[in-house]
Structure 1
Amino acid sequence: MSTTPRMQAVNIGVLLLFCTLCNPALAVLDGLLSNGNFELGPKASELNGTEVLKHNGIPDWEISGFVEYIKSGQTQGDMLLVVPEGAYAVRLGNEASIKQRVSVIKGMYYSLTFSAARTCAQEEKLNVSVAPDSGVLPMQTLYSSNGWDSYAWAYQAEYDYSEIVIHNPGVEEDPACGPLIDSIAIKALYPPKATSKNILKNGGFEEGPYVFPNTTWGVLIPPNIEDDHSPLPAWMVPSLKAVKYIDSEHFSVPQGRRAVELVAGKESVITQIARTTPGKTYHLSFAVGDASNSCEGSMIVEAFAGRDTLKVPYESKGKGGFKRAVLRFVATTTRTQIMFLSTFYTMRSDDFASLCGPVVDDVKLLSVRYPRNKVV
């Protein structure tokens, strides 16, 4: 008997309810974790000023160490503690952590997205872990002028549940000098495949981490030295700095709903290894543009295909737009590295404090039956 969409939705709901009842972990769907924005807070009796006293004082979270519950507009001396979404966030002091257990599918890849901001520590960083995977994300570089950045971090589920831990490993003289955390979300990642229309996987960057619908600063994809599993499936970030994952709801995107912004010059790199046949000619096409985020000036995207390179200049007025480019090359090995980086550092013209750069999108690789020139 065939089922209607309504019946299918009911069946999924029953399955999730069953999983929740039989497993103490919280059932999870793409989006915010349970109380992931910390709008549900401790009781007044569980607070000493801003410090949370009980390990389960924040609903659906387990805490350890010096954890504070911060209200939007709160100050610390002359410093305003800004909350990016809603009215509340948490601050992780010395050796403090927050933890939540969620039900997942064993073997599946997941990406966490969360917003974080520095406060008063000198070298703030965060250790994000889901055993046995972990990564330390440094927060010395601020990419947005409001002090908040959203970060993505990926892992592969080893069990049918995940214990998500965000930990501040720092120790400061003032235990309250630690990063602010808000809006923690999860998204299942589906490994993309090559097709007859594109040898590269996820060439349009449509598969990637969760993007918060109410934020306007995109999501940082950290270097793979800090993350063994890329939140941007099929692509890696082998550089020292992050790249930014942007959406069409808040930025100008050449094609589809997602793209990548190279925000830190030659220190922002994306790469993918493609299967090629030695002696064959290939056609690497891609779009270069700006995100309509007041990122103005002369930009250059450098494209690499094995030993072949192409520099694509783009004059940005910071109001959106793009151009297309093509690099033709002859493969010399069975595996060819495709790579993109930005030649220059660029700052936004409206605040002179936010890093920005050219956008890369719609990357396609195909073999050419009747090759003409090497580079167009």
Structure 2
Amino acid sequence: MSVSNLLLLLSIFTLFSVQAFSAQFLDGFLPNGNFEEQPKPINIKKTVLKGKFALPKWEINGTVEYIHGGPQPGGMYFAVAHGVHAVRLGNDASISQTIPVKKGSLYALTFGASRTCAQEEVLRVSVPPARGDLPLQTLYSSDGGDTYAWGFRATSNSAKVIFHNPGVQEDPACGPLLDAVAIKELFPPMPTRVNMVKNGGFEEGPHRFKNSTNGVLLPPKQEDAASPLPGWIIESLKAVKFIDSLHFKVPSGFAAVELVAGRESAIAQILRTIPGKSYQLSFTIGDAKNGCHGSMVVEAFAANDKFKVPFESTGKGGFKTATFKFKATAARTRLTFYSSFYHTRVDDFGSLCGPVVDEVKVLPLRV
């Protein structure tokens, strides 16, 4: 083989190797996503980071503090659930990082976030041109270690991930706390011959931190096109929780959804249907074996039909399956679920919880 042919083969191999590396599957922390790679002493004064690149692997703008979890001067306490260190974003401050992604692919960011003061705080997450504002006023767990997920679809082969505090608080010591950031590429399931519902078992979802026992909160107002729970719309005022079988009781498979904020916590999906045709809807409800107890009711809506499924929970992981029929009135039918009541854990009244929904299935009925 000639030298020219060898060089040609080498260049082709190198090209494909670079493409494969740049388009690798993502499921884990961003570079220094847990903030445990500390800044150099010259780049920090007390807790305030000095310089645009003072935080390794990140770019900062505005006043950003590098925080050690636990008691703070002045009597405050910062919960850092996913390690030892975190960052606090001051007024109009942000941190960002650019990562390689696959154009057109769906991704979910998973991150630990909490407010540091009683004032209303918002964390703005963006991967331009997409962005979302996460209200942090509601604490879903009493220890403050809430974990969120936010979805986006890549518009190019690189994505700039930005976390920004858009607020201007009177107290400069306030501002959202960010303690871990991970990313996962998602593969949205499609309807099948045995189930018209996409991702009806909730198996495809965001990255879950191994040491997190609180589940992952899916913020409201996320459309199905870029939802961190593929196929589903988070259409409520409050978040719903994505839970796994490692830390919770899940009726089937590895994951499910917990409706943690009553009627303010809802999920929906739009199905392709035939007007006038009848369909069968089935789904499983229960409790996550997390101490969530009491009389639970899950309400389901499909076309003009409404269904209520009661469940008496003892907080020990029971569940049951319900089946209903509905008739489509249009070519698109919205399927919606929410919890009728609010619940808290029997051992922790500061932690919101609720009924678990899993194994959602819809099939056309034969005449």
TM (norm. structure 2) is 0.92
1:216 and 1:115 map into 2 onto residues whose CA distance is 12
Describe the shift of the 1:279–1:302 C-alpha distance in structure 2 as closer, same or farther (beyond 3 A): same
Deviation at 1:286, TM superposition (A): 0.4
1:198 paired with 2:182, answer no
Letter in structure 2 aligned against 1:218: G
Is the contact between residue 88 and residue 175 of structure 2 (CA under 8 Å) also seen in structure 1?
Answer: yes
1:170 paired with 2:167, answer yes
Is the contact between residue 153 and residue 227 of structure 1 (CA under 8 Å) also seen in structure 2?
Answer: no
Query: Which of residues 351, 354, 363 is equivalent to 2:360?
Result: 363
1:248 paired with 2:242, answer no
User: 3-state DSSP class of the match of 2:70?
Assistant: coil
2:161 and 2:16 map into 1 onto residues whose CA distance is 20
1:47 and 1:37 map into 2 onto residues whose CA distance is 18
Letter in structure 1 aligned against 2:314: K
Deviation at 1:182, TM superposition (A): 1.2
Letter in structure 1 aligned against 2:114: A
Unaligned runs of 5+ in 2: 1-13
Q: C-alpha root-mean-square deviation of aligned residues, in Å?
A: 2.0
Note the 1:91-110 alignment, pairs <5 A: 91-110=88-107
1:148 paired with 2:145, answer yes
Query: Which of residues 311, 314, 317 is equivalent to 1:320?
Result: 317
1:143 and 1:66 map into 2 onto residues whose CA distance is 27
Q: Give the paired residue count.
A: 354
Is the contact between residue 223 and residue 233 of structure 2 (CA under 8 Å) also seen in structure 1?
Answer: no
1:172 and 1:189 map into 2 onto residues whose CA distance is 36
Query: Which of residues 22, 32, 36 is equivalent to 1:35?
Result: 32
Q: Which residue of 2 aligns with 1:11?
A: none
Q: Which residue of 1 aligns with 2:58?
A: 61
Deviation at 1:74, TM superposition (A): 4.0
Q: State the Cα deviation string for residues 24-46 of structure 1 (Å, max 9, x = none).
A: xx977211101100000111121
Q: State the Cα deviation string for residues 282-328 of structure 1 (Å, max 9, x = none).
A: 11000000011110000000111111111100000111010000111
2:117 and 2:45 map into 1 onto residues whose CA distance is 21
Q: Which residue of 2 aligns with 1:46?
A: 43
Describe the shift of the 1:358–1:36 C-alpha distance in structure 2 as closer, same or farther (beyond 3 A): same
Is the contact between residue 296 and residue 316 of structure 1 (CA under 8 Å) also seen in structure 2?
Answer: yes
Q: Which residue of 1 aligns with 2:8?
A: none
Letter in structure 2 aligned against 1:18: V
Deviation at 1:229, TM superposition (A): 2.1
User: 3-state DSSP class of the match of 1:312?
Assistant: strand
Identity of aligned residues (%): 58
Q: Which structure 1 residue ranges, 4+ long, deviate > 6 Å from structure 2?
A: 14-17
Describe the shift of the 1:78–1:344 C-alpha distance in structure 2 as closer, same or farther (beyond 3 A): same
Query: Which of residues 229, 233, 236 is equivalent to 2:226?
Result: 229
TM (norm. structure 1) is 0.90
2:256 and 2:24 map into 1 onto residues whose CA distance is 30
Q: State the Cα deviation string for residues 208-246 of structure 1 (Å, max 9, x = none).
A: 111111100111111126997211111101111111110
Q: Which residue of 2 aligns with 1:85?
A: 82
Describe the shift of the 1:35–1:16 C-alpha distance in structure 2 as closer, same or farther (beyond 3 A): farther
Q: State the Cα deviation string for residues 14-60 of structure 1 (Å, max 9, x = none).
A: 88973699x8xx97721110110000011112111000112111111
Deviation at 1:177, TM superposition (A): 1.1
Q: Which residue of 2 aligns with 1:208?
A: 205
Describe the shift of the 1:362–1:20 C-alpha distance in structure 2 as closer, same or farther (beyond 3 A): closer
Letter in structure 2 aligned against 1:39: E
Letter in structure 2 aligned against 1:284: L
Is the contact between residue 98 and residue 165 of structure 1 (CA under 8 Å) also seen in structure 2?
Answer: yes
1:168 and 1:294 map into 2 onto residues whose CA distance is 34
User: 3-state DSSP class of the match of 1:352?
Assistant: strand
1:228 and 1:122 map into 2 onto residues whose CA distance is 32
